[in-house]
Structure 1
Amino acid sequence: MDFTDPAWTTPPVSLLDVASYLPGEPVGTEYFTRFSRSERMAKNVMFRAPKGRHHRGPDETAVDMAERAAAPLVERHGAQELSKIDVLLTHTQLPDNPVLGCGGELARRLNMRPRYVFDVHNGGCAAFVHMMWLARTVLRTTDARTALLVTTQNCAGPVFTQPDIRGLAQAPVPGDGCGVGLLVKNSSAPILDIECRTYPEFAGDMDFDTGSERKYWQPGEGQACVTFTESKVAKVFTRGNRLVPEVAHAVCKRIGVKSSDIDTLVTNQPNRLFLRNWHDALELPAERHPDTFDSCGNLFAAGIPVTLDTENSAGRLRNGSVVLMAAFAHAGDFAGAAAVRWGAAR
């Protein structure tokens, strides 16, 4: 690795810690099978259901989930240290208030007064990587020293259990959860490289509608949900198989590590086939690619930090090892990868 490269002359930023929260008791697949309406679509590899998932409570807000996810960080580092966070970034799959994000309210709950608050809606399932890039940029270019990243997936319970939606093939796949990451300006667990790519040509390929002409904010019948056609599913599958290895290989090349030598690969967790294809493409054995899909379902943006926390808490991430994160978003309009020299607290 070339430490004379300009990237190494800027202040190092580390992923100091991760934590997560899964709401409620696990929900079994049998909840959905009694409502199933499409055996054909349910057999599609994109919609093969996990064994379990979690659903947030009917009155549980994104801020509630974020506060609970951050609780282990408060316990490990102290409320006083968390109150000094300089940069707060949040990503919420289903904003409770469509006019504003949850950053301000979360800061109030955690007794924080961050100078920079960003409620980031793009990035999708790759939002944690995207937010790492944004936070690192702020930390490197200002006198800010700490950042808290919060990714909340909270649409499984309220959206995918609606009477008109719960019988769809995709309904059993998502789960709810929240993952957080603490970044600091030091070299204790350095971020080695980050790659973020936007693909505008795919930006209009994800549909969110009510099954009628009604807009989701208008009164009337119909329940809002992300919708799929078989042709669009095929396109997304092809793109996902390509995009995640592409950004992962780009990071590996720049840090001078073969993909097959990566110690741990952590991706978003959309379905079993993507997981298999991704570690095969990077020439990694399955045991080096942790899988939380069967216990959590598709956690969208929260998938990476929740999986990181699961592995870290179990002691399966060795300090000093190279952990590679990679994901793609939506119908393929964004993809990102990041490599870290692991050293997070647990």
Structure 2
Amino acid sequence: MIRMPVTVSLADVSSYRPGKPISAEYFAQFRQGAGTASDVMFNPPRLRHHVGADETPADMAERAIAPMLARQGPELLDQVDVLVVHTQLPETWFVGNGGQIAARFGIAPEWLIDLANGGCASFVHAIKLAREILQNTRARSALVVNVTNTAGQVFAQHGVRAMAQAAIPGDGAGIAWLTKSDRSPILDIETRHLPRYAGEMTSIANPPRRYWEAGHGEHHIGFTESNIAAVLDRGNRIVPQVTEAVCERIALPPNEIDLLVTNQPNRAFLRNWREALSLPPERHPDTFEECGNLFGTAMPMTFDHAVSSGLAPDGSVVMFAGFAHAGDFAGAAAVRWGGRHTPGDGSN
């Protein structure tokens, strides 16, 4: 018996921005001096959002899925057998927040995966895992959940907010729904793990201590000027590389991508990536000025905004691409977008 390949589609996407926008001026009043590399890496956005003081990852996920459930109906959750979650700052020791999010959604999926890696490109990583499960099991549909929650909890700390790195991050959540259908097929995915860079983005405190140890000094990301320069160079190269790999396999020149949706560490990366792929700004939407660096949530948040704003016509080839941390992971995924799936359209 010949097994027919299963097509998996990106059926819908939704997102959530917590709280009121916080302006760049808030951080400017605390700002300390910075070097040249820091000025490029951490040139602040106009606005960003911060998670609320008592807001949990499950709260954010529930608020992010609300628009999707309003469109699709709560019956969507009855069909979810796969839940892949990436929480930037897990609030539950050892087990992550996937279980809490599943409980909040009222589901008990057969496949529940908490991703600890993938970072800013975890959306692509999660889509690849979910697609593999849907293609090779009887699972019916999957939810991919990205929660970003360090801006208001780590970077806004009194001892951290004066650093150049503090003004870049924003918080938010994004959710994608994947189904077995050919409405908005995932055309191809490229992922690359580069473990030699895995230890270059670290958490440090002054005086030094491990993050679980009691002591003085707040933890922050341990970037040095030389490290920043290396990450800028590395990130500029690897995102076009994974994008071009996907383009080659689907026989699409990079400059014919209809919509490029990336993570958004800073303006320099956004500019350099589209120039490397010969794409005009209007085909590379972002939410950087309104939301800052959203890490893993940037792709679903930006695509949700693009779809809602009419920037993603049906039939568009959408390329999701990005890299994580100091460059230990990169990925790209191409989707032929067929519009948001709707109840009764036969797509799920």
Q: TM-score range by the shorter chain?
A: over 0.9
* Equivalent in the alignment of 2:345: none
Structure 2 residue corresponding to 1:327, chosen from 315, 322, 327: 322
Deviation at 1:9, TM superposition (A): 5.0
* Equivalent in the alignment of 1:75: 70
* Equivalent in the alignment of 1:84: 79
* Equivalent in the alignment of 1:153: 148
Matched, 1:108 2:108: no
Q: Which amino acid aligns with 2:230?
A: K
Q: Distance in 1 between matches of 2:165 and 2:136?
A: 42
Structure 1 residue corresponding to 2:281, chosen from 275, 282, 286: 286
* Equivalent in the alignment of 2:132: 137
Q: Distance in 2 between matches of 1:317 and 1:288?
A: 9
Can you list the C-alpha shifts for 1:203-230, whole angstroms capped at 9, x where unaligned? Answer: 1111111222211111110101112100
Structure 2 residue corresponding to 1:124, chosen from 119, 122, 126: 119
* Equivalent in the alignment of 1:49: 44
Q: Which amino acid aligns with 1:180?
A: I
**Structure 1: gaps spanning 5 or more residues:** 1-5
Deviation at 1:32, TM superposition (A): 0.7
Runs of 4 or more, structure 1, over 2 Å off, are: 39-43
Deviation at 1:41, TM superposition (A): 5.7
Deviation at 1:177, TM superposition (A): 0.5
Alignment of 1:1-346 (within 5 A): 10-40=5-35, 44-345=39-340
Q: Work out the percentage of aligned pairs sharing the same amino acid.
A: 52
Q: Which amino acid aligns with 1:146?
A: S
Deviation at 1:40, TM superposition (A): 3.2
Can you list the C-alpha shifts for 1:55-84, whole angstroms capped at 9, x where unaligned? Answer: 010000011000100111111111122133
Can you list the C-alpha shifts for 1:92-136, whole angstroms capped at 9, x where unaligned? Answer: 000111322222221221111211100111001000000000000
RMSD: 1.5
More displaced, 200-209 or 257-266?
200-209
Q: Distance in 1 between matches of 2:118 and 2:195?
A: 12
Q: Which amino acid aligns with 1:216?
A: Y
Q: Which amino acid aligns with 1:237?
A: L
Q: Distance in 2 between matches of 1:287 and 1:147?
A: 30
Q: Distance in 1 between matches of 2:100 and 2:241?
A: 37
**Structure 2: gaps spanning 5 or more residues:** 342-348
Q: Distance in 1 between matches of 2:219 and 2:194?
A: 25
Change (3 A) 1:229 1:39: closer
Q: Which amino acid aligns with 2:66?
A: A
